[in-house]
Amino acid sequence: MDINTLRHSASHIMAQAVKELFPGAKLGIGPSIEDGFYYDFDLDRAFSQDDIIKIEERMRDITKRDIKFERQELKKEQALKLFRDLGEGYKLELISEIADEVLSVYKQRDFMDLCRGPHIERSSDLKAFKLLNSCGAYWKGDEHNKMLQRIYGTAFFSQEELDKHLYLLEEAKKRDHRKLGKELDLFSIQDEIGPGLVLWHPKGAIVRKIIEDFWKEEHIKRGYKLIYTPHIARLDLWKRSGHLEFYKDYMYSPIEIEEKKFLIKPMNCPSHILIYKSQLRSYRDLPIRLAELGTVYRYEKSGVLHGLMRVRGFTQDDAHIFSTEEQLEEEILSIIELVVFMLKTFGFSEYEVFISTRPEKFVGTLENWERAERALKNALDNAPVKLKYNIDPGEGVFYGPKIDIKIKDVLGRPWQCTTIQVDFNLPSRFGVSYIAEDGKERTPIMVHRAILGSFERFFGILIEHYAGAFPLWLSPAQVIIIPISQKHHAYALELKRRIDKENIRSEVDLRNEKMEHKIREAQLNKIPYMAIAGDREIAQGEVSVRSRQKQNEGASKVEEFIDRLKKEIDLKS
């Protein structure tokens, strides 16, 4: 028995408990999902927290009854009659969509459900489970359908595994970037602007600027050319690129300007290609690496939007590399080196890596696909930092194979960030070429790559990874100066001037509040260092230092304190 079988069986036991407690509830679907399960119900009201507690208690009662899961096979007509007699309209709809003439149902004494299975043998096999929450969910995920009530739960083989998972869930709640984003005044998403559109507040914008500056510096060092492209382009460009055909559902409606139709860009790549094509290119010019922090807009359904993690407007750390076939492997190796360096700098050192190979439907020749896949594998095998990877057969995109890298945060959760994609489609569609050494026109290899992915999403990941307590180099305010009383204000302001001169981000708290209150607020704002100034500090040319990690660290000469901050910032630790 695998974990998905256990969790799917838990969803059936939950459905049985709901039907026993709320006979009028109609059954939707109840699959296992990553880390748990859910079941959708049509009920004339939302489930309360008290209801969830009662349902979980009834589930425990059902497990104690040691009920056998019995599989029955019925002809389609029999299944329709069964669920018609039970008054389960959603099951009738599902049956009508199944082509098979023989269907399976599972029986738990008086409870019946349409299901392929498999399931656990007896209800008593479910020992460690927990119901988590409930929410509204449209039938079949379609916002035009009726809103049902969904109950989420989780199940494990042992109580120890369940307890560990519940602990991680509590930690995740504390680290939720939406909660911390509001508490720390980093960003907001407001109805007046629109769902999925992010407002970066001053503190969040400072963190973004630091990331952007670091990103640009490291790319320039490695021979990338920074570019900027417009947010809209003629509709014909998106026809030529194929996005209008393959990506239409995620693109916003055209706007008309001077009788010409324009689209808000969902991608940066067509503009990068046109910059490449703006002049004749020689083999001596290659590789050409074009990089942009390009903001794009994609229509995501409101039901999938989630804070910074899933938005409608976001900035990609985008780059496109045009190289010869001979240069491809070396370029991919260089990208991997940059990926590991940047992600490690931000505090991520554990990864899940996948190479996605040729799907059934693809463009380009088999020979080119094989070369590209081989180049991706060789680059990973020869990278200075050894990255274990899995092959994901047939999961490449139609235009080329790719490497996907997921980072693991402090809670062990994987997040998709990096992608390195070889493209045989756009160079052909746009007639991209260079003059080879023999004087003939050749098509360069085009590589799409993003390291951090969406800036918005990466910022959300950073917030949760560090629980809002960013390392010193990323912190919006790196030190706050707290004078003990009003007579120490002048010294505090002079100290701020000296610190600011060294490009260290500082604040000074001159409010007429008790020092203990100011210290508490600085802790809540997760500021790395506090520099406290009173009579003794002024007399000695010092500050009393409090750090986020070690609390009270004692007195330090002002210059020594500034040097310490500068060294820690330079180390990006």
Strands (E), 328-432: 351-356, 389-392, 402-408, 414-423
DSSP reduced 3-state for 245: helix
Burial class (CB in 10 A: 0-12, 13-18, 19+), 221: exposed
Count the neighbouring beta carbons within 10 Å of the beta carbon of residue 294: 23
Q: Give the list of residues 6+ apart from residue 562 with CB closer than 8 angstroms, or none.
A: 498, 499, 502, 504
CA dist 342 and 351 (Å) reads: 13
SS3 per residue for 510-536: CCCCCHHHHHHHHHHCCCCEEEEECHH
Helix axes 366-382, 328-345, angle to 10 degrees: 40
Catalytic residue among 91, 320, 377, 465: 320
Provide φ and ψ at 4, rounded to 5°: -70, -35
Closest CA to 480 of 546, 560, 539, 395: 546
Q: Name residues whose C-beta falls within 8 Å of residue 59's C-beta, 6 or more positions apart in sequence.
A: 10, 13, 14, 17, 126, 129, 131
Residue 135 annotated in active site: no
CA distance 185 to 179: 10
Is 269 catalytic? The answer is: yes
**165 given a catalytic annotation:** no
How far apart CA 382 and CA 384 sit, in angstroms, is 6
9 contact partners, CB below 8 Å, separation of at least 6? 69, 119, 120, 125, 126
Q: Are 499 and 545 in contact (CB under 8 A)?
A: no
Instruction: Return the HEC string of 120-140.
Output: CCEHHHCCEEEEEEEEEEEHH
Measuring CA to CA, which residue among 294, 295, 340, 309 is closest to residue 461?
309
Structure-block tokens of residue 99: 């082509």
498 catalytic? Reply is no
Choosing from 7, 272, 402, 518, the catalytic residue is 402
Q: Which of 7, 12, 298, 457 is catalytic?
A: 298
Q: Of the listed 8, 150, 448, 496, which one is catalytic? A: 448
Q: Which residues of 466-480 are buried (b: 16+ CB within 10 A; e: fewer)?
A: bbbbbbbbbbbbbbb
Catalytically annotated residue among 8, 269, 317, 505: 269
402 is catalytic: yes
- Cβ–Cβ < 8 Å for 533, 481: yes
- Alpha-carbon distance of 103 to 75, in angstroms, equals 6
Q: Active site includes 320?
A: yes
Q: Which single residue is written with the structure tokens 């026993």?
A: 20
Catalytic residue among 51, 113, 318, 409: 318
DSSP 306: B
For this structure, is 12 an active site residue? no
Q: Which amino acids are annotated catalytic?
A: 269, 298, 316, 318, 320, 402, 448
